[in-house]
């Protein structure tokens, strides 16, 4: 069975959605651990409820990002992790780490990439006046919010939509798409060639 590690910094609702999908047998894998870089991340409360091991790696303990990532890489290796799932993890991973887990790190972004890369993507799509935005699950490469696209889903924005409503819609879609993408990975159905991911 594949071992999954989820990396988060905050709320952890995507972590929860994945753990639930595993629990109900939709994904046949083991969520072995949650790693956070913020001591007070709410995701840890969820991990304890779910009886999943949670580990806080304090960035302040490391001089550089590369040192942090090396500690993370060692931990994931020791735990025999096959898939790294980024779920609101607010750190950029160094190229060396990404190479060590090539095509075995996935991320979720609350916009239709390549639109609105980076932070506050939901709000920026709304402010821009988009009539549509969405969610992207993708493999992680050496650039931020950039790797090969696995799944995307769209959300329409009607006139007068409030940010909080759009956020709710986006998160609901995330909680559907992320487990779906992870299931495909675990079942070895994702094949990456250049930027193209085929599902078979
Ligand atoms: C999600 O919107 C995700 O797309 C983005 O960070 C947010 C994390 O939310 N990368 P949560 O911590 O999973 O609730």
Can you name the residues that pair with 108 across neighbouring β-strands? 137
User: Distance, CA 129 to ligand 1 centroid (Å)?
Assistant: 22
User: Distance, CA 175 to ligand 1 centroid (Å)?
Assistant: 10
By DSSP bridging, strand 53-56 and strand 83-86 are unpaired
Q: Which among 6, 10, 14, 16 is the best mutation to test ligand 1's pocket, defined by most ligand atoms within 8 Å of the CB?
A: 14
Q: Do the first three CATH levels of 1-101 and 107-200 match, i.e. the same topology?
A: yes
pLDDT tens, residue by residue, 1-41: 999 999 999 999 999 999 999 999 999 999 999 999 999 99
**What is the distance between the alpha carbons of residues 5 and 129, in angstroms, rounded to a whole number?**
36
Domain boundaries, the chain: 1-101, 107-200
pLDDT tens, residue by residue, 49-106: 999 999 999 999 999 999 999 999 999 999 999 999 999 999 999 999 999 999 999 9
pLDDT tens, residue by residue, 107-146: 999 999 999 999 999 999 999 999 999 999 999 999 999 9
- What pLDDT does 96 receive? 96
Sign for the pseudo-dihedral over CA of 141, 83, 63, 47: positive
* Angular region, 28: left φ>0, alpha ψ -120 to 50, beta rest: beta
> Tokens 């819609």 label which residue?
169
Q: Kindly report whether the global pTM for this prediction surpasses the value 0.95.
A: yes
Architecture category of domain 107-200 in CATH: 3-Layer(aba) Sandwich (3.40)
Superfamily of domain 1-101: Formyl transferase, N-terminal domain (3.40.50.170)
Q: How many other C-beta atoms can be found within 10 angstroms of the C-beta atom of residue 46?
A: 19
- What pLDDT does 153 receive? 98
Helix (H, G, I), strand (E, B), or coil: what is residue 134? strand
Is residue 8 in contact with ligand 1, taking CB distance under 6 Å?
yes
User: Distance, CA 12 to ligand 1 centroid (Å)?
Assistant: 7
How many Å separate Cα 187 from the centre of its chain? 18
- Judge whether 184 and 199 are in contact, CB under 8 Å: yes
């Amino acid at each position: 069975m594949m071992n999954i590690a989820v990396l988060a910094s905050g709320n952890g609702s995507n972590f929860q959605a994945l753990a639930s999908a595993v629990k109900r047998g939709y994904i046949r894998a083991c969520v072995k651990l949650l790693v956070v870089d913020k001591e007070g991340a709410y995701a840890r409360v969820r991990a304890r409820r779910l009886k999943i091991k949670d580990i806080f790696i304090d960035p302040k303990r490391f001089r550089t990002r590369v040192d942090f990532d090396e500690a993370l890489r060692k931990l994931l290796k020791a735990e025999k992790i096959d898939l790294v799932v980024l779920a609101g993890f607010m750190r950029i991973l160094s190229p060396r780490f990404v190479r060590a887990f090539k095509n075995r790190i996935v991320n979720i972004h609350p916009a239709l990439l390549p639109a609105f890369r980076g932070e506050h993507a939901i709000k920026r799509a709304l402010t821009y006046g988009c009539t549509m935005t969405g969610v992207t699950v993708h493999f992680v490469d050496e650039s931020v919010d950039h790797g090969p696209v696995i799944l995307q889903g769209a959300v329409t924005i009607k006139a007068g939509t409030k940010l909080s409503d759009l956020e709710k819609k986006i998160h609901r879609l995330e909680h559907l798409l992320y487990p779906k993408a992870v299931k495909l990975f675990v079942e070895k159905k994702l094949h990456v060639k250049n930027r193209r991911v085929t599902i078979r």
